[in-house]
């Protein structure tokens, strides 16, 4: 036998020498769910180990994460039902606790990178990402609402705007709105290929943001489609996005790969709530080894082509990374 691939695997030093894919906490963005008020943090049943955090707990979580080398966060507000309305007006309200917490994190930890979510669903009484009339999600009527939401977040000090709504033309509209208000340095990470996925279930539990009627299939992509993601990618690039994102990650590794080879922009992938819940459940049952399966899962997303990964495993991974 002339060729024996096993020679390149014969010792840990050789294996490390030729390791193709590397992952560190610098690649990760940690999602945090936030709740107004001063009470205790609230457990999220379908996301074991994760909580809806009050302001003081958010600061604590950010502090602990930074100590572990994890410095980027994406923030989601859990909004009380009585504050929700058809136009998502709480999203731009002066009283919005989301903006207050962003300000407070940025003033305590100026080095932290904070990313927002731009979509109507956390604030909408219809539970949709866009403006609803007669059961229809109206695209162009939604755009100014998203633009105002993004400007309010930029004013609060957000570093990266994350439009997750999948309305057509929203990246350009948000870019123009930010620039007109002097926020030329605020970045946009577009949810470019966001699929109508069953894996968002636990997230919607966390925010109580599930659609009150219908589904999201007229705006989120069909899980059957890969090349349609390239069309979305071209548009987001032309419209001024700084990063392209694929969501979910694990069932869509091929989409991450095709976007990475197609575009020169950095690619992000969102390892979503259902993917977290699935692995956690198996590990809690003793069916999988968390310390081995969790880093392997994240590495596979990176190997597929993701430069950055939004993941609920971020803090656990940072802890694991420190010990290895
Ligand atoms: C809201 C939004 C969703 C997620 C991120 N932003 C849910 C949805 O589109 O219904 C899902 C994230 C996750 O499941 O972890 N536009």
Q: Catalytic residue among 247, 260, 280, 315, which? A: 247
Ligand 1 centroid distance, CA of 274 (Å) = 10
251 pLDDT band, cuts 50/70/90, is: very high
Q: What does the pLDDT read at residue 25?
A: 98
Give me the phi and psi of 193, to 5 degrees please: -115, 85
Torsion of Cα atoms, 149 then 154 then 157 then 161, to 10°: 80
Ligand 1 centroid distance, CA of 234 (Å) = 22
Ligand 1 centroid distance, CA of 119 (Å) = 9
Does the annotation count 247 as an active-site position? yes
Pocket perturbation via mutation, ligand 1, pick of 32, 77, 119, 166 by most ligand atoms within 8 A of CB = 119
Cα separation of the two ends of the chain: 36
Domains in the chain: ranges and CATH: 25-323 (3.20.20.70)
48 pLDDT band, cuts 50/70/90, is: very high
Question: Alpha-carbon distance 121 to 208, whole Å?
Answer: 9
Question: Alpha-carbon distance 278 to 281, whole Å?
Answer: 5
Give the dihedral sign, CA 201/203/207/213. Answer: negative
179 pLDDT band, cuts 50/70/90, is: very high
Q: Is 247 exposed, middle or buried (0-12, 13-18, 19+ CB in 10 A)?
A: buried
35 pLDDT band, cuts 50/70/90, is: very high
The two structure tokens encoding residue 58: 């958010």
**What contacts 277, CB < 8 A, 6 or more positions away?**
46, 47, 48, 201, 202
Instruction: Kindly report, residue by residue over 112-161, the tens digit of the pLDDT.
Output: 999 999 999 999 999 999 999 999 999 999 999 999 999 999 999 999 99
Does the annotation count 60 as an active-site position? no
Pocket perturbation via mutation, ligand 1, pick of 44, 164, 249 by most ligand atoms within 8 A of CB = 164
Q: Catalytic residue among 41, 84, 194, 216, which? A: 194
Which of 116, 111, 86 shows the shortest CA–CA distance to 98?
A: 116
Residue showing tokens 């909408």: 124
């Amino acid at each position: 036998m002339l060729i024996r691939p096993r020679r390149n695997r014969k010792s840990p030093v050789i294996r490390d020498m030729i390791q193709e894919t590397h992952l560190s906490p610098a690649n990760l963005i940690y999602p945090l769910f936030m709740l107004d008020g001063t009470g205790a943090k609230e457990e999220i049943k379908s996301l074991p180990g994760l909580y809806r955090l009050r302001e003081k707990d958010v600061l604590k979580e950010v502090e602990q994460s930074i100590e572990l080398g994890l410095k980027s966060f994406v923030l989601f507000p859990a909004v009380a039902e009585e504050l929700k309305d058809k136009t998502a007006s709480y999203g731009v309200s002066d009283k919005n606790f989301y903006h207050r917490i962003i300000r407070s994190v940025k003033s305590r930890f100026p080095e932290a990178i904070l990313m927002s979510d731009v979509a109507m669903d956390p604030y909408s009484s219809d539970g949709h990402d866009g403006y609803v009339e007669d059961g229809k999600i109206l695209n162009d009527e939604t755009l100014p609402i998203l633009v105002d939401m993004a400007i309010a977040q930029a004013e609060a000090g957000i570093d990266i705007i994350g439009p997750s709504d999948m309305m057509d033309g929203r990246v350009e509209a948000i870019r123009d709105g930010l620039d007109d208000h002097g926020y030329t340095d605020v970045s946009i990470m577009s949810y470019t290929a966001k699929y109508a996925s069953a894996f968002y279930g636990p997230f919607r539990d966390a925010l109580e943001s599930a659609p009150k009627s219908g589904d999201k299939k007229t705006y989120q992509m069909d899980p059957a489609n890969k090349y349609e993601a390239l069309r979305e990618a071209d548009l987001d690039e032309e419209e001024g996005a700084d990063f392209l994102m694929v969501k979910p990650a694990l069932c869509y590794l091929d989409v991450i790969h095709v976007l990475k080879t197609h575009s020169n922009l950095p690619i992000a992938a969102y390892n979503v709530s259902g993917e977290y819940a699935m692995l956690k459940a198996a590990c809690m049952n003793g069916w999988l080894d968390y310390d081995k399966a969790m880093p392997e899962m994240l590495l596979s997303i990176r190997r597929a082509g993701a430069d950055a990964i939004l993941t609920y495993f971020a803090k656990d991974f940072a802890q694991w990374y420190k010990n290895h």
